[in-house]
Every structure is written in C-alpha cells, then in structure tokens.
Amino acid sequence: MFLTISTTGTAGSPATDLGFLLHKHPDRAQRFSTAHGTAHVLYPEATAERCTVAMLLEIDPVALVRSARGKGRGAAPDSALAQYVNDRPYAASSLLAVALGGVFGSAVKGQCAARPELPGVARPLRVEVPVLPARGGAGLVERLFAPLGWSVTAEPVPLDERFPEWGDSRYVRLALEGELTLAEALRHLYVLLPVLDDSKHYWVSPDEVEKLLRAGEGWLERHPEQVLITNRYLARRRSLTRDALARLAEADDTGPESLDNAVDEEKDTAEKPVPLAVRRREAVVGALRAAGAARVLDLGCGQGQLVGELLKDPRFTEVVGVDVSMRALKEAARRLGLERMSERQAARVRLLQGSLAYTDRRLAGYDAAVLSEVTEHLDPPRLPALEYAVFGAARPATVIVTTPNVEYNVRWETLPAGQVRHPDHRFEWTREEFRTWAGDVAGRHGYEVGFAPVGPDDPEVGPPTQTAVFHRRDAGPDRTATAATTTTLTKEATAV
C-alpha cells in the first residue's frame, strides 16, 4: 500500500516545510509499527522547489486475519483461502487511512508546535495513490474529491494488461491536485479512502461517528455526497448513519434531502421524521411572516438554505445573507443559482461578507434579522459585540434567534456526555441560560422577547432547538403580529 504527497515551494515557504508539517524529517527514513504491519515514511525528493513524502504500509495479512477474528466483521471474504489471498497488502484502504491518522496525527489536527503559522496556509499539493480500490469507479472518485477543490485524475487499472478485453478492475490510479492545507488533504484521505474501498477492516462502533465528524469538520457538512460518505464510512450501520447525518445537519444545516435519502436507501417503512433543520426553517419563516417582515437579514447565513426558502415567497422583497466565511458565501451563491437568476429575482437578494462581531452600517434599517444557529459559534467574550452590532446598531424591528438546547444532548445516542453537538460550537446553553441572556439583551436595548421550542419538547430536557423572538418596543403598529408570532411558535409563549 503506497501513497505519496508532494508540494512545491511558495514565496514564503520552501517545499521542505512539508517535513515540519508532518513532524517527520526529510533526511530520515522512519518506520512505525501499526496494528497490522509496518508503516515506512520516506522522502524520495526533498528540495526547496519540490518535496515528496511517501508512506508505504507493509501489511501482514496473517496478523490482519487474526485480528479481525472475534471482532464481528472480518476483513476478508469468508472462504478459507480468501483469508490469506486478498488485496489488503497492496490496495489503499481503511488500513492506510488508519496509518495516516496515527503516523501523521498532529498534521491531521493541523498542529505544528515549531511553526504554528504553517498548518493554516494552503499550498500546492499533489497526492498519488497508485492502487486505490474504488467501488463506484472513477466517476465516484471524481464526485467525492472534486467538490473539495481537488482536480482529480482517476484512471481505471485494467484487470490484466495482457488481456485488455477483460476490461477494468475495481482499482484506479489516483492523482489529486489542489491548493489546500495539508490538514485538509489528510482529513479528506482519512475519510474518503475507506469510503471508496467500502470494506472496513475493523468493527464500526459508535465512536466512529465522533471520528467521522472530527475528520469531516469544515467539509463534510456541505459535501454533495454527504449521505453516501457517511453511510459507507459507518459501514451502513443505520442508527449511526442517522445520528451522524442529524448532527451534520445541526452543524451546517445541510437540508432535508440528506436525511430523507438516507432513510430511503435503507427502505425504512416507519414514518419519516422531519429533520430538525427543516423544522427550524419552518419556525423561522413562520415567525417572519407573522411579524409582517418584508426586508430580512439572515445573519450567519451559511450556505443560504434559509435565503433560498425566503426567496420562494414574494412577500419577502429583500433578503440579505451575511456570513464571515467566504467559502460558505460562495457555496450559497452556487446553490441559489445567483448567476442564472432573472434580473428581477436577483434584485431581491444579496450576499455580504461581514463579521457580526463588528458594527456594520449596511445592516441598518431592516424589518427583521435572523440568527439561526450562529451565536454558539462565537466565543462568549464576543457576544456583547454581537449584541451591540445587532440590537444596538442594526436595530431591526424583529430579531429571531435559534440555538441548541444543551439539556437535550443526552437524547443524542452517539454524543458522549458533556460534549457539544459540533466541534465549532464554542458553548451551548441550557434553557435557563438562553432565557437569561435573551431577557437581558431585550432589557438593555428596548425589545420584548418570547420563547419557543423547535422539535419534540421533551418533558424532562426540553426541545433540541430553542428559539427567541424579539420585537422592538418602539417598532410601531405591528405589535399584534408579534404576539401571534410567539403563539404560533409555542402554546406557552412567555414574555419577559
């Protein structure tokens, strides 16, 4: 099993910085023992212009068979011979992924003590895997890597070069090129190599969900093949896949399609639950309608799902999505089809880059602002700045805030106790904490606030999502609409 990663030198960084990033010195060949064999790391070339690291994994097929026994799921097909004669020793697979994660652990995490600035910088990378088992063929390889910014070459390997009429094997020779950080590249490989191989060498347990979410952070939330990736990575274990997809949707609101498809794929006969992200959007749109808002800000709009939803209703005459992440905005523009929109439709929508931690004049004068699953992405010391930017400076008549209810986390099957739902959440509030924050904010800025649950309101721990609807006290005649808003959201709306 063999994989190489190459980079070229850039203005600020010679190619040999790859050695720093990987914590492996380019002048030395090193060996690491892994559970199933030995990983060799060496650099076939290391100059300031060009540097290549190679990982060669020597697998002991007998040890592999032994270790797979008794773990519920073998690495090899069941026949006695196949246990010893199989492709594992040379085909890139979950074994290689595990070795990458182990040997280059800090690089995967994006850590580099000696040069802390290095891991964050995207650089020209080329990855080659000469023999990659690819169930789904070259087309799937392209669909998995291309959306992540790689240009992909996947050539099918013929079954036997002497007999071309036999056709292609299930292997491809893979080359990826792109300008990414090394940590991104390693995380893509860590997840996607086993996904393509589609046969895990170890038993998939619930902590695999954590590993997937950690390695998938920042890209899996928005990947068009998210369902396939999650399903295969978790070896088609249905409850794990469902849980992982729900948590990805929590993280980035990837929309209803993914969960529904996952359920379809499994031929589920039970009633399909409505994904939380969809319920959240319904609640927000309902509250905006009830408030009579026409010009709306979606603050922290992510990939623009809510913006898209609002554009379907002509009563929303202007919809502005704001986000700090350029990448999210680009994806939003693509999803919304901004380029292809009629002029009239395009005049209703704008996407702005900006941080909510700073006052922004462009945000003044709107009817309503939505902060859906955004506050928990800010460090708590930044919250007063957000509060001022939204309630003090922009001052829309209506503000709708949705955020996770941390008390509900005990109901997520795979979420370890004490952990937040997504690695980028800086905190998650209890119902009490959210009410206190929202009540104080309302008091300081002349708003009234009501609260509402989204999702099943558990008698003990409350709903998965909590919502606050603020109405500016001096906002004029539409007070009744606000009252209606709060009651549509909850029967026990409480005003503070």
- Could you list the residues that contact ligand SAH (CB under 6 A)? 252-253, 300-302, 323-325, 328, 355-357, 372-374, 377-378
- Distance of alpha carbon 481 from alpha carbon 459, whole angstroms: 29
Nearer to ligand SAH, 64 or 356 (CB): 356
Sign of CA dihedral 228, 234, 238, 242: negative
DSSP 78-125: SSTTTTTSSSTTTS-SHHHHHHHHHHTHHHHHT--SS-TTSTTS-EEE
Would you say 300 or 462 has its CB closer to ligand SAH?
A: 300
The CB-of-132 to ligand SAH minimum distance in angstroms stands at 32
Residue linked to tokens 């070459």: 153
Instruction: Phi first, then psi: give them for residue 222, nearest 5 degrees.
Output: -115, 15
386 phi/psi in degrees, rounded to 5:
-60, -45
Nearer to ligand SAH, 205 or 325 (CB): 325
Burial of 49 (0-12, 13-18, 19+ CB in 10 A): exposed
Task: Establish how many alpha carbons lie within 13 A of residue 206's alpha carbon, considering only the half-sphere containing its beta carbon.
Answer: 7
Helix or strand or coil: residue 162? coil
Q: Which is nearer to ligand SAH, 270 or 326 (CB)?
A: 326
Query: In this complex, which beta carbon is closest to ligand SAH, that of residue 110 or of residue 137?
Result: 110
What does the alpha-carbon distance between residue 451 and residue 375 come to, in Å, rounded to a whole number? 16
Q: Is the dihedral of CA 485, 314, 299, 187 positive or negative?
A: positive
Minimum CB separation from ligand SAH for residue 372, in Å? Answer: 3
CB of 297 to ligand SAH, least distance (A): 11
Residue 194: count other Cβ atoms within 10 Å of its Cβ: 24
The nearest distance, CB 493 to ligand SAH, in angstroms, is 22
Complex with ligand SAH: residue 374 or 406, whichever CB lies closer: 374
Helix (H) or strand (E) holding 403: strand 398-404
* Closer of 19 and 300 to ligand SAH (Cβ): 300
Find all residues with CB under 8 Å of 179, minimum gap 6, and list them: 122, 123, 124, 125, 149
Structure tokens, 307: 């913006």
Q: Would you say 128 or 323 has its CB closer to ligand SAH?
A: 323
Nearest residue relative to ligand SAH (C-beta): 253
The minimum distance between CB 252 and ligand SAH, in angstroms, equals: 6
**Inter-helix orientation angle 276-290/479-489, to 10°:** 160
Minimum gap (Å) between residue 111 Cβ and ligand SAH: 22
Alpha helices, DSSP H only, in 318-430? 326-336, 343-346, 383-387
Please report which residue ranges of 337-401 form alpha helices under DSSP H.
343-346, 383-387
Minimum separation from the CB atom of position 268 to ligand SAH (A) = 25
Give whichever of 5 and 227 is closer to ligand SAH, judged by the CB atom.
Answer: 227
For the CB of residue 467, give the shortest distance to ligand SAH in the complex, in Å.
11
Q: Which is nearer to ligand SAH, 173 or 214 (CB)?
A: 214
Q: How far is the CB of 296 from ligand SAH (least distance, A)?
A: 13
The least CB distance from residue 177 to ligand SAH, in Å, is 27
